[in-house]
Structure 1
Amino acid sequence: MSVMPADPHRPVAHLRPPRNWINDPNGLAFHDGHYHVCFQYNPYGPEHANMHWGHFRSPDLISWEELPVALTPTPGGEDADGCFSGNAVSDGDRMVAFYSAFRTDRWAQPVTTAESRDNGVTWTPRGSLLIPELPEGATMYRDPYVWREAGRWRMLVGSAQADGRAAALLYESGDLERWEYRGPFLDRAPQPVAPGADTGPGWECPQYLHADGRGALLLGAWDPELGPRRTVVYPGREQDGRFLPDAPALLDHGPDFYAPALLPAPDGRWLLWGWSWEARDAACVREAGWAGLLTLPREVTLAEDGSVRQRPAAELLALRDERALTAAGETAGTAELGTVRSSFDLTARLEPRAAGTAGGLRLVTSADGAEYLDISIDAAAGELVVDRDHASLDPRAHGGTYRLPCPEARAASGAPVELRLVVDRSVAELYLPSGRTLTLRFYPTGDTPWRIEARAGDEGRLGYAVGAWNLRPYAMRYATDAGAESTPTDAGLARH
């Protein structure tokens, strides 16, 4: 079992290995009584290179076991420069992983597979490409997503097209071996999706959520010059092998969320994990020796209006430890509500008492109050505003202000604002009853208990009811990492 030195920013209730780089969640499946969560992993350092698949499994989403590395590049093989993103399916007594084989060409990554017959402990690569040829017109091609529907296997692959359109390409199979190309499931020129964001000229990591004749296509907006941007979702429905979309939207409104992956649970739920990248300079990452984490598992559903709704998986309530604070009242200024540890789960109901006034919560992480994260109501815009400009006294940590649509926040609505905030040391995940979310990273330097404050807006009053629970860590069992510091023989190239 690995013993790591204390790191005040390393999360206790978010999945990641003890050290080194991780990014996209991959290989999500439920098999033989376990949830399996793989991820892009560099076992040699905290940089995006040498892509393997790391692997955790759990019977309950609370107790996790790190398994041996699932996928490793084969020297001289089709994946010699990296085993990139994809997914996995449970098929009888085996698991089959589908992934992007990276060899030399950064943009064209054909599909290959590996299989496990011992519940994910060991994997055998096929040694050849499953789909060796790219469809005509594809200039970028990667990240297969496979699922079973109506007695057949289906696959989406993300791509960029020579005509400037992004596309999710559809294949179908009866046996997971012979695949027929059906054409674009959806293709679109870049469309605006939020101020300063669009759907991108290419799509990575396609995922398809579907139920009762409706669906939602989750896509990583990718740009050949800028790399990964934001995750977008097209709600809609399928007709004759084509997806008929409604208007796109952001899946998560924060700056530090990308490449989510879906897992159909045995009880009928859809679960989702995303990658939350670092929001600190490379020097900080090198000093820490690790980069990236996976978000909390989220339950995702399709609302009647077609929107995708997210909330923390119900199992995570078991991580709540003693109740750290309970506070209710009203303030015309600042009310100190109590303290929490650096990992906590908070619920709040906020009611500005006068039209047009704002207010909100402040998480103060330093004794002198100079370091804090603000969540405030913009009553004019109908949004929650998350401000991390003062969230770290370390100048190498990133700042910025981010907005989460919250119609009930509008002054004219008269409705209280309810929210759930889960903070785990350096990651904050904000959830609204509407199912909208915002994920960001921040890096407090203070070592005192963190203080929760309710703060009224100018010339207004704020009613509040707040409860918070400190979080217990996941029950983690790490694999031995002998050899993790050795030098790889084939240095993979960064894809993003």
Structure 2
Amino acid sequence: MSVLPADLHRPVAHLRPPHNWINDPNGLTYHDGHYHVCFQHNPYGPEHANMHWGHFRSPDLLTWEELPLALSPTPGGEDRDGCFSGNAVADGDRMVAFYSAYRTDRWAQPVTTAESRDNGVTWTPRGSLLIPELPDDATMYRDPYVWREAGRWRMLVGSAQADGRAAALLYESGDLEHWEYRGPFLDRAPQPVAPGADTGPGWECPQYLHADGRGALLLGAWDPELGPRRTVAYPGREQDGRFLADAPELLDHGPDFYAPALLHAPDGRWLLWGWSWEARDPEWVRESGWAGLLTLPREVTLAEDGSVRQRPAAELLMLRHEPAVTAAGETTGTAVLGTVSPSFDLTARLEPRSAGAAGGLRLVTSADGAEYLDIRIDAATGELVVDRDHASLDPRAHGGTYRVPCPEAAVAGAPIELRLVVDRSVAELYLPSGRTLTLRFYSTGDAPWRIEARSGGGDDLGYTAEAWNLRPYTMRYAADASAVSALT
């Protein structure tokens, strides 16, 4: 196992390579006893450029092996300017990756493929485009997502349309080689999805979660001037090759989550990884030498009302070390629950004793209490508020307050349950409703971190909490392709 240089903000239980840039998770599949997770990767620096596919695989979601780069641009080829996002499928003894070939035109990225017959160690690009012609009305086109259903292969491609509508375009095939264009699976003009946010004039990174006749389209809301904005989910159902969508919703309520990808596991679960980008200025990113990480793997289900629910994959319970905090009680001010490492997994139950009571939890990350991350109850709006305005004393770190719906917060005396997984510079908040909020923050000190329960306005706050320090993933990094080949 390689030993990386000490870095206060580098996660220990979130996937990323030792150095440089990563963004979208790609190529998620299960093949020959391994989960495969690829990702957009610049192997030359911590900037969004020189797009390759990095690659990890794991037998159990806990022990990870870095493989050689899965995809690299071919000089003079169809993907000469970058191997951009897509997915992969297992087909017999081979894996086939579908991805966006970048050829100077950033808006039009036709679909091409590569194939592996040694469980992902090496890949052979096809050397030509799989779908060379874009539909006439597509003004943006990228990010294929392929799956098998009812004896046929199906593909979605994200796009923007000339009439101002975003669309997920549908193709079908019997052999993964010859594809018939069926038209838009779903298209929509921008729709409101949260205060100050809509579903965008274009969609990228389409993913299709489906089970028992119901489904949800997961889409990256994209703007030609602003770039990627947020990820939305359209619940609904399919009829005659079209997706009949209900009202859209945010997939994650935090500021630092985008481009999630799905993997249908052999046990029937749908697993999801997302990209969590940096919330610090480029100068700091360059100094650190790395940017971006993948979220925890999440189990994703569809609720009876069609909403998408997320929770950490069950395997991650094995990362819990001995309990660092076990606390229960009541406070009218501040109660110190205990200290944790910078990577921990916490479950809590908060019980405001009166209607409209405030309060919540505070993660104090500096010895003098100047740096902290707050999770507050807003009874007036029925939300939890995550506040990182004081989470870093470095002015290059981004602040802001972010909200996740929590209807229990508006009900007098109703308990509020949550799970918070923190891994150095990333926090993932999970509620029993399946809603999530992901954000990044950057403590500047290395003092023990302290968990506090804090009441508000003189009201009593009951609490129970348990927190476990996290064991790191078991990681085997490869210095080069020959080193990995020797392991297989």
Provide the TM-score with structure 1 as the length reference. Answer: 0.96
Q: CA deviation at 1:4?
A: 2.3
Whole-Å Cα distance in 2 between the matches of residues 310 and 193 of structure 1?
18
Q: CA deviation at 1:434?
A: 0.3
Give CA-to-partner distance per residue, 1:177-222, whole Å, 9 cap, x none.
Answer: 0000000000000000001110000000000000000000000000
SS in 2 for 1:286: helix
Q: CA deviation at 1:2?
A: 4.2
2:396 is matched with 396
Q: CA deviation at 1:276?
A: 0.1
Q: Write the mapping of 1:7-22 to structure 2, written as runs, cut at 5 A.
A: 7-22=7-22
Q: CA deviation at 1:335?
A: 0.3
Whole-Å Cα distance in 2 between the matches of residues 196 and 9 of structure 1?
30
Match status 1:60 vs 2:60: yes
SS in 2 for 1:430: strand
Match status 1:439 vs 2:432: no
In structure 2, what residue type is equivalent to 1:377?
I
Match status 1:49 vs 2:55: no
In structure 2, what residue type is equivalent to 1:205?
C
Whole-Å Cα distance in 2 between the matches of residues 63 and 165 of structure 1?
43
Q: CA deviation at 1:481?
A: 4.6
1:424 is matched with 423
Give CA-to-partner distance per residue, 1:125-157, whole Å, 9 cap, x none.
Answer: 000000000001000000000000000000000
1:262 is matched with 262
Whole-Å Cα distance in 1 between the matches of residues 454 and 222 of structure 2?
39
- Could you list the runs of 5+ residues in structure 2 that have no partner in the other structure? 483-488
Give CA-to-partner distance per residue, 1:371-415, whole Å, 9 cap, x none.
Answer: 000001001110000000000011100000000000011134x32
In structure 2, what residue type is equivalent to 1:450?
W
1:273 is matched with 273
1:415 is matched with 414
2:457 is matched with 458
SS in 2 for 1:317: helix
- Could you list the runs of 5+ residues in structure 1 that have no partner in the other structure? 484-496
Q: CA deviation at 1:455?
A: 0.1
In structure 1, what residue type is equivalent to 2:323?
R
1:233 is matched with 233
In structure 2, what residue type is equivalent to 1:240?
D
Tell whether the 8 Å contact from 2:352 to 2:414 is kept in structure 1 after alignment. Answer: no
In structure 2, what residue type is equivalent to 1:195?
P
Whole-Å Cα distance in 1 between the matches of residues 481 and 91 of structure 2?
32
1:203 is matched with 203
2:137 is matched with 137
2:287 is matched with 287
SS in 1 for 2:122: coil
Match status 1:215 vs 2:186: no
2:71 is matched with 71
SS in 1 for 2:256: coil
Tell whether the 8 Å contact from 1:2 to 1:18 is kept in structure 2 after alignment. Answer: no
Q: CA deviation at 1:322?
A: 1.1
Whole-Å Cα distance in 2 between the matches of residues 154 and 70 of structure 1?
23
| Structure 1 moving runs of 4+ over 4 Å | none
Tell whether the 8 Å contact from 1:2 to 1:480 is kept in structure 2 after alignment. Answer: no
Tell whether the 8 Å contact from 1:357 to 1:411 is kept in structure 2 after alignment. Answer: no
Provide the TM-score with structure 2 as the length reference. Answer: 0.98
Give CA-to-partner distance per residue, 1:256-304, whole Å, 9 cap, x none.
Answer: 0000000000000000000000000000000000000000000000000
Tell whether the 8 Å contact from 1:380 to 1:411 is kept in structure 2 after alignment. Answer: no
Whole-Å Cα distance in 1 between the matches of residues 415 and 328 of structure 2?
14
1:349 is matched with 349
Tell whether the 8 Å contact from 2:2 to 2:475 is kept in structure 1 after alignment. Answer: no
In structure 2, what residue type is equivalent to 1:228?
P
Tell whether the 8 Å contact from 2:216 to 2:237 is kept in structure 1 after alignment. Answer: yes
Whole-Å Cα distance in 1 between the matches of residues 22 and 397 of structure 2?
19
1:467 is matched with 466
SS in 2 for 1:393: coil
1:480 is matched with 479
In structure 2, what residue type is equivalent to 1:442?
F
2:369 is matched with 369
Q: CA deviation at 1:35?
A: 0.1
2:485 is matched with none
Whole-Å Cα distance in 2 between the matches of residues 26 and 433 of structure 1?
28
In structure 1, what residue type is equivalent to 2:37?
V
Residue correspondences, number:
482
Q: CA deviation at 1:3?
A: 3.5
SS in 1 for 2:163: coil
SS in 1 for 2:14: coil
Match status 1:308 vs 2:305: no
Whole-Å Cα distance in 2 between the matches of residues 106 and 335 of structure 1?
53
Q: CA deviation at 1:482?
A: 8.8
Two-structure CA RMSD over aligned residues (Å): 0.9
Structure 1 vs Structure 2: percent identity of aligned residues?
A: 89
Q: CA deviation at 1:173?
A: 0.2
SS in 2 for 1:171: strand
Q: CA deviation at 1:459?
A: 2.1
Whole-Å Cα distance in 1 between the matches of residues 393 and 454 of structure 2?
22
Tell whether the 8 Å contact from 2:67 to 2:481 is kept in structure 1 after alignment. Answer: no
Whole-Å Cα distance in 2 between the matches of residues 213 and 11 of structure 1?
38
Moved more, 315-324 or 1-10: 1-10
2:324 is matched with 324
